[in-house]
Amino acid sequence: MLPYVVKPGDTVLRIAQRFAINPTSLLATNPQIDVSSQLIPGLVLFIPSHAGTMYCVQQGDTFLRLASLFSMSLAALLAANPFLDPKQLVPGQLLAIPLGGYHRIVDARAEYGYKELLQDMDALELEYPFLERVCIGQSVMGKPIYALRIGEGPRKVHFNAAMHANEWITTPLLMTFIEDAAGACSLSRKLGGVDMRALIEQVTLWFVPMVNPDGVELVQEGLRHEHPHYAELLQWNRQSHRFTKWKANIRGVDLNDQFPAFWEEEVERRAVAGPGPRDYPGTAPLSEPEAKALAAFTTEQQFDLVVAMHTQGQEIYWNYRGYEPPEAESIAGRLGQASGYKPVKLRGSDAGYKDWFIYEYRKPGFTIEVGQGVNPLPIESFPDLYDEVRPLLLAVIQTMCGK
């Protein structure tokens, strides 16, 4: 068995993923923890033996070359060697080569947070140089908020995810679609029967995979004493250290109640006095840097259609106070046919991102409620969720091409 010292941000699933072992084996070897444990940095765990081989680094080797040599993703090789600097491989170093590794860049088998997002964006840019990454703003705690672009077409479509912290599973869903779309474009192959290379000649796709990185980190990793907002967050969460129900940003503001579309009515309807896990619209529209960044990016790009991904309910919201364009309902019907989700004409909701987009631009905007269950949806449901989401996202893009 191999001893392992827990680091900040580690979870049971992340450690099992890193060492390519079954989480059950890790728990059996370390009976003092369970899958929901908040692991304390410095705690020593024991990693059970697992199949694999070793490789001695040669002159000129890089992680990218070795990943290609052993037919695995760059992310899988990096995860198997967490203590090595990928930019400074030294001849003679030993690398672990996992057998039967996960041959994708985006790996949704454990909690998917901001660190995983940054690592995967780096790997995707290496693999697909035609991807563009831009920073559109920062979170309250200074984390850059990124957008990724695929395509050069005149019509612009935007997708965003993880606006609500405990709905973070929407981020790996969107990132997996980005990887699949980029791979299909690169290899001139079809994705779900759709010619992606032909589509991106007509449509530019802009993705913001994680709108609320501070909140996602809080939900996944819990609250530690050194957190700069420790006292306030504990108070807002009713003195509980469990943040699995937290939807808001790190200042306790619900980002999807932040947009200038009848915001005052939403404040009155919510009737939430102050910061907390959910439903507090803030002190003014766009008071929070995450919402302000997304609104500014939308204004700059002048999208033709937007999709905000949330969980859960298997529903598609397509209208807003009659300001939606005539074609919105028929597009929602098409998305419903592709995914099995139910188009819903929503009432009694204001100040959301798609509400503001429809109100401001009179263009099609949609909120997609992915999956069924209780947030956060279990990561074990990811394959089924992606099977639902992928045809829906493809249908959105095809709609903009008139197909």
223 Cβ contact partners less than 8 Å away, ≥ 6 residues apart: 230, 233, 234, 237, 241, 243
- From the list 386, 380, 306, 389, the residue with the least C-alpha distance to 341 is 389
380 counts as catalytic: no
Q: Tell me, yes or no, whether 93 and 128 share the same domain.
A: no
By CB atoms closer than 10 A (0-12, 13-18, 19+), residue 135 is: exposed
The DSSP bridge pattern shows strands 365-370 and 315-317 to be antiparallel
Mean pLDDT of all residues in 246-275: 97
pLDDT(175) > 90? yes
Q: Tell me, yes or no, whether 209 and 355 share the same domain.
A: yes
Predicted local distance difference test score (pLDDT) of residue 102:
62
Give me the CATH number covering residue 59: 3.10.350.10
Answer whether residue 317 is part of any domain. Answer: yes
Answer whether residue 12 is part of any domain. Answer: yes
Q: Tell me, yes or no, whether 89 and 127 share the same domain.
A: no
- From the list 120, 122, 114, 134, the residue with the least C-alpha distance to 297 is 134
* Band of pLDDT at residue 265, cut at 50, 70 and 90: very high
Total-model pTM: 0.84
Q: Tell me, yes or no, whether 82 and 12 share the same domain.
A: yes
Answer whether residue 143 is part of any domain. Answer: yes
Domain boundary among 66, 98, 130: 98
Amino acid present at 313: G
* Band of pLDDT at residue 97, cut at 50, 70 and 90: confident
Answer whether residue 260 is part of any domain. Answer: no
Domain boundary among 28, 63, 98: 98
∠78-79-85 over CA atoms, to 5°?
40
Q: Tell me, yes or no, whether 81 and 152 share the same domain.
A: no
Q: Tell me, yes or no, whether 64 and 195 share the same domain.
A: no
Answer whether residue 103 is part of any domain. Answer: no
* Band of pLDDT at residue 96, cut at 50, 70 and 90: confident
Predicted local distance difference test score (pLDDT) of residue 99:
66
Domain enclosing residue 21, as ranges: 2-98
pLDDT(53) > 60? yes
147 three-class SS: strand
Give me the CATH number covering residue 165: 3.40.630.10
> Comparing 41-55, 160-174, 262-276, which segment has the lowest mean pLDDT?
41-55
Residue in 116, 266, 369, 388 annotated catalytic: 369
Predicted local distance difference test score (pLDDT) of residue 20:
73
> Comparing 78-87, 110-119, 123-132, which segment has the lowest mean pLDDT?
78-87
* Band of pLDDT at residue 50, cut at 50, 70 and 90: low
Q: Tell me, yes or no, whether 129 and 69 share the same domain.
A: no
Distance CA 165, CA 79 (A): 25
Domain count, the chain: 2
Q: Tell me, yes or no, whether 79 and 122 share the same domain.
A: no
Q: Tell me, yes or no, whether 60 and 141 share the same domain.
A: no
Domain boundary among 33, 63, 98: 98
Q: Tell me, yes or no, whether 181 and 322 share the same domain.
A: yes
The helix (H) or strand (E) run that includes residue 360 is: helix 353-361
Terminal Cα distance for the chain, rounded: 56
161 three-class SS: coil
Mean pLDDT of all residues in 110-119: 95
Answer whether residue 86 is part of any domain. Answer: yes
Predicted local distance difference test score (pLDDT) of residue 403:
65
159 Cβ contact partners less than 8 Å away, ≥ 6 residues apart: 174, 205, 206, 207, 208, 306, 307, 308, 309, 393, 396
pLDDT(125) > 90? yes
pLDDT(106) > 90? yes
Answer whether residue 242 is part of any domain. Answer: no
